[in-house]
Amino acid sequence: MGLFDRFRPKRSFEQTSATAAAAVLSEDILRTSLRAAREIDQMEEQHSPVGSEKSGGWGAAFEFMHFFLHIADRLAFGILGPDNRSFFIDTLASMTFDATVEVMLQPCDVAKRRELKQALLSDLTHRNVYYGACKKLFPEEGASPKDTVFWEFGKKLAESVGHPEDIRWIMGAIMAAMASLKVLDINAAILSI
């Protein structure tokens, strides 16, 4: 069983173009990121003092988006090779952030939309460098999770919601990400190209 076998497709995609696959997957990434961010908000409501402000929301959704795009990038590299991967991931990120900007800033001027999209793309570049330093997604059995992609994601998300280095938040983020990846079918979308 390979590393990504736990994320095997649950639905079938017909053979399609990279652009069409990116269009479907970008909507799924946005929807799944928002759902996962709501889970983090609910966790915060359960574990924070009454009356305290929630700090998740879009910040948590952005962290999930960047994480899912990084996972898609790793999968695409192995499945599509470096040249086709580049086109697919660039298209996927652009479509995901276009949809995000559309949902966030519905009636808004073009400059503000462009600024947000550029910020999201810049953050994705930073996250890819950050997660790219991790050689493994998960730890070996019995090994420390330190320096794995999932652990580093958990730390970033915990930090973004105001709970840096808190193991409950790190593990909550990891569990939400794992559950979300099972729903996303990134493998199926990439294999359909």
- Report whether 93 contacts 69 (CB < 8 A): yes
Residue 13's pLDDT is 62
**pTM exceeds cut of 0.85:** yes
Residue 9 in this model has a pLDDT that exceeds 60: no
Q: What is the pLDDT of residue 6?
A: 45
Angle (CA) 70 24 105, round 5°: 80
3-class DSSP state of 91 = helix
82 burial level (CB within 10 Å; 0-12, 13-18, 19+): exposed
Q: What is the pLDDT of residue 110?
A: 87
Percent of the chain with pLDDT over 70: 88
